[in-house]
Amino acid sequence: MNKPQESKTYYFEQLFGSKTRVKLLRLFLISGRPIHYFVREICRLTSEHLNSVRREIDNLEKLGLIIKEEDDAGAKQQKVFYKVDKSFILYNELKALFMKSQLLLEKTLVTKLKDIANIQLLILTGAFTGNTEATTDLLIVGRIKTVKLSSLIKQFEKELGHEINYTLLSGSEFNYRRELTDMFLYNILENKKVVLIDNLDLNKKELKKDYARKKINVKKVK
């Protein structure tokens, strides 16, 4: 009898003792989002209940991994937020551990996307690369049923512990936007990114020259 395959986060939950704690660690260590978070913001990003989040925040604060700060800039009531303490003695080791787990998840994502779609281009940006200016975390160019894609993304949101903003374009729409030097697409291609699938030869010198030539006339497609 075959043993059921556990999720990629199963081992982390066993190691750290709490699903919520794993989500918070992932959020603070590698999510690439803002460096500080309010409690309700953490709840929204991790899809965990307030009491569970408060309990794990207290645990991580006592451990010394995160620190609490207050923002009283003109507010009637001080707002409390939390951020990771990079001077924590095991910060680098924990970050490396969670980065390795994310790489495994990314490989799994590629495999599963290939199973349900004909992918021409797959790019990670935004939360995956620390690009806080990006309006999407995942750019997919190809043919795929949106229902299947939505279901797969939700599965990986649970694994990662945070929301994934994704953009799906057909090959023709991608080429159209590229020809217009669309601002949205331009920002993705010109900023920090991880290209997982590239059947469109993005690294062609002609494409780089084309973008450089059109740089002063960047347009936005609505």
Burial 158-169 (b: 16+ CB within 10 A, else e): ebbbbbbebbbb
d(CA 84, CA 127): 16
Q: Two tokens at 161?
A: 């512990």
Q: Two tokens at 124?
A: 């990670």
Output the pLDDT for position 104: 81
Domain extent listing, the chain: 10-89, 105-217
Weakly modelled stretches of the chain, pLDDT under 70:
1-13, 31-34, 72-78, 161, 203-222
What would the pLDDT profile of 64-93 be if each residue is shown by its tens digit?
Answer: 999 998 876 555 566 889 999 999 999 999
How is the beta sheet containing 118-124 ordered, strand by strand?
A: 166-169, 138-143, 118-124, 194-198
> Measuring CA to CA, which residue among 197, 106, 185, 192 is closest to residue 210?
185
What would the pLDDT profile of 133-159 be if each residue is shown by its tens digit?
Answer: 778 999 999 988 888 899 999 888 877
The 3-class secondary structure across 167-193, one letter per residue, is: EEECHHHHHHHHHCCEHHHHHHHHCCC
Fold held by 10-89: Arc Repressor Mutant, subunit A (1.10.10)
Output the pLDDT for position 26: 86
Output the pLDDT for position 206: 45
pTM of full prediction above 0.85: no
Cross-strand bridge partners of residue 79: 71
Output the pLDDT for position 68: 92
Output the pLDDT for position 133: 74
